Structure 1
């Protein structure tokens, strides 16, 4: 029986090349809108490509100064990057993945009775590239 995949790498918020916080969950949304163009003679004769958008939601445990640092980035409209932080091994799906020029658009906290509170950040990313 093959050995189960070991996920020894994590996505991490990076600021000026230094790790700020690991990300507990990452939910990306890609939007590449295309609008059909119609004429008097026919439907769907062409299309207009509208600007693409990449947004994501990330959750971070509210431990230490990570949430305060990320909230400061949001208030000051400072860009950050998302990088892969490898603990050990070479089991990441992508050879290279880059999320640059990311900005936080909103912040929400989840307070729990039992466990660690989580902060959710809604973000936009202006530059995404990957290589598999």
Structure 2
């Protein structure tokens, strides 16, 4: 029994090893697939990625609503889920954009079978 406990402890410490981000990319409106987006330059091996000041060019985009997708790749080659944000190009200036800042007010989870909302 003690050997099993030690083995499980060793496996748990192996599974807990965190990977470093080595690559990140973005796309606007159409997802070209992992590793085919616009590379985010200057990524160093890190645990997280700060995209608050990410310079995303909006020149040439039509006025109206768009989506921005972001994802990162870790040192094992695995891609993160794509994080999607919506933004709008306002009239008068093709470079002016605003991100819709929405806040989560409720969340839920399920295992195996989705019981539906709420």
TM-score, normalisation: structure 1: 0.34
More strand by share: 1
Of structures 1 and 2, the one scoring higher in RCO (CA 8 A, sep 6+) is: 1
